[in-house]
Amino acid sequence: MKRKEINNLINSSIQKNTPKLTKKILSAPINVSNNAVEVKAEKQRAFVFNKPAVKWISAVACVLVVIVVASILGVAFAPKNVDTPVTTLQTTCYQIDINPSILVTTDKDGKVLHVSSCNDDGDVVLSGEVFDEYEGMNIEEFVKVFVDESAKLGYVDLSDQNNEMTITVVNGEDQGKLQTIANTLSEKIQNYLRESNIYMYVKGACQSISDFIKDLGFENVGNNMDNYLEQLESKNKFFSADSISDSFISDIENQLRQFVDELRQKKDLLNQLDNINDKIDELCGHDYWLSKSNYQLGIGDYSQEVISLIEQGNSINDQLYELDLNIYSSIKLNAQLVKYEIIDDIIIFVEDIDEYLKDKSFLDVILIFISEEDKEFYIQLQEKLTYYYEEVVEKIENIYEERIGKYLDSYLNRPQISEDDYDDFLASKN
């Protein structure tokens, strides 16, 4: 028996056993108020964040964003040994692209911590023995080895003086500062290569983390993250959540606010669509979906009022579609969880918004920063999260099913219209 069926069974049994309205109750006097009764319209509940939750979610989301980027790109601290401006972050990411393309992580002294590839060619180059011991190399030395190896494998012709390299710095600081870091580092590397008679134009670029992640796609972010984090954590004890989170908080907060705003808009649109549906039902005895299909197929004779309602419904539908895409991307962006201390806050947050969610990936939880000492706690937590995940997913599915359920029959049985007919219909309207 499914959970939903158990819920129904319990509710139905409770209903059967609930006492009926008896004379004992009805004989009790109603203390009528002397105050004038004023039926207030419901004050639309503003979607206000639980502040501590926002703070924590934001902070940890920030950390995760950094870690996710780090895990894919490799994270490098602003390298002091190249005289670049020091970032307020402890880590910065570099994407080095001469096609092959790779991602490099360095520590705050500019020493390489980790390297990974961005494409197949990068994979081939990095598989060379020369990269077995890259850890601790200066970024400039590392880049030179990378260029040499790429040339050896035929990816780059070093006799060609028009070669180009792009170094993209990715982190959450302001773009101006990032660009300065990127330019300084590029120049330094360009000069370093030149000393070895490698002539290459090295271009500095920068990208914010959120843009970077959008470009990268969240599907990719998940790949290999666990292994990478494991390595990064075991080797870099300084990789502290708190110290790198602050500068991202406002950015993530804004994203969360936007996300909630979109959910609120979605609720409004769904309500509007419900109203339109009811009105159409009143006027012609069937709902918006069927009327829409019939109208487009030229079946039935609809009054101007119904046609106008159908068109309003179409417009709302389009808006809902757009909004769903945005909400989906927002959910994805915020789905990269989370440090364990804030799980309760996250749960509260989700309970607040779950009636507007249809996408369960919001709860795809990835736990990080779990130390050995916390192992037992971690296991319990995983258990709780798994249970919670299952429950909320089901709840969300039920809510969604309930929302679309009333339209489902009409929708599935609606008359079909061919593309040609639809084009004709649009043409006839024009």
Partner 1 sequence: MSDRQHLDDLLLKVRSGDEKAFEELYSLTSQKVFGYVLSMVKNYHTAQDITQDTFVKIRKNIDKYQSGNAFAWIMQIAKNTTYNEINKSKRVVPFEELPPKKKEKSYVIDDSGIPILEIIDNRLEDTDRKIVLMHISSGFKHREIAKILDLPLGTVLWRYNKAIKTLQNIIKEEYGE
371 contacts partner 1 (rule: CB under 8 A): no
Identity of the residue, 51 or 237, whose beta carbon is nearer to partner 1 in the bound complex: 51
- Nearest Cα neighbor of 126 from 102, 158, 110 is 102
Residue 43, C-beta contacts closer than 8 angstroms, at least 6 positions apart: none
22 contacts partner 1 (rule: CB under 8 A): yes
381 contacts partner 1 (rule: CB under 8 A): yes
46 contacts partner 1 (rule: CB under 8 A): no
Give me the helices (H) in 196-303, please: 209-216, 218-222, 225-235, 241-245, 249-284, 288-297
282 contacts partner 1 (rule: CB under 8 A): no
Name the minimum Å distance from CB 63 to partner 1: 21
Identity of the residue, 10 or 404, whose beta carbon is nearer to partner 1 in the bound complex: 10
Half-sphere exposure (Cβ direction) of 252: Cα atoms closer than 13 Å: 29
Stretch that binds partner 1, among 4-12, 71-79, 257-265, 415-423 (CB under 8 A): 4-12
Identity of the residue, 131 or 369, whose beta carbon is nearer to partner 1 in the bound complex: 369
- Nearest Cα neighbor of 92 from 145, 170, 179 is 170
337 contacts partner 1 (rule: CB under 8 A): no
Q: Which of 351, 397, 409, 423 binds partner 1 (CB under 8 A)?
A: 351
Name the minimum Å distance from CB 25 to partner 1: 5
- Which residues in 25-44 contact partner 1 (CB under 8 A)? 25-26, 28-35, 37-42
315 contacts partner 1 (rule: CB under 8 A): no
Q: Which of 246, 278, 322, 344 binds partner 1 (CB under 8 A)?
A: 344
Which H or E run contains 102?
strand 101-106
Identity of the residue, 20 or 237, whose beta carbon is nearer to partner 1 in the bound complex: 20
Name the minimum Å distance from CB 293 to partner 1: 29
Residue 211, C-beta contacts closer than 8 angstroms, at least 6 positions apart: none
374 contacts partner 1 (rule: CB under 8 A): no
Residue 190 CA to residue 200 CA, distance in Å, equals 7
Q: Which of 211, 278, 391, 402 binds partner 1 (CB under 8 A)?
A: 391
Angle formed at CA 197 by CA 191 and CA 202, multiple of 5 degrees: 40
Stretch that binds partner 1, among 16-24, 158-166, 228-236, 361-369 (CB under 8 A): 16-24
Question: Do strands 164-171 and 201-208 pair parallel, antiparallel, or not at all (unpaired)?
Answer: parallel
Q: What are 217's two structure tokens?
A: 């796609």
Length of the chain: 430
341 contacts partner 1 (rule: CB under 8 A): no
Name the minimum Å distance from CB 312 to partner 1: 21
Question: Do strands 164-171 and 92-97 pair parallel, antiparallel, or not at all (unpaired)?
Answer: antiparallel
Q: In what order do the strands lie in the sheet with 75-76?
A: 75-76, 92-97, 164-171, 201-208
Residue 144, C-beta contacts closer than 8 angstroms, at least 6 positions apart: 192, 193, 196, 198
Residues contributing to the site for partner 1 (CB under 8 A): 1, 3, 6-7, 9-19, 21-22, 24-26, 28-35, 37-42, 343-344, 347-348, 351, 381, 383-384, 387-388, 390-391
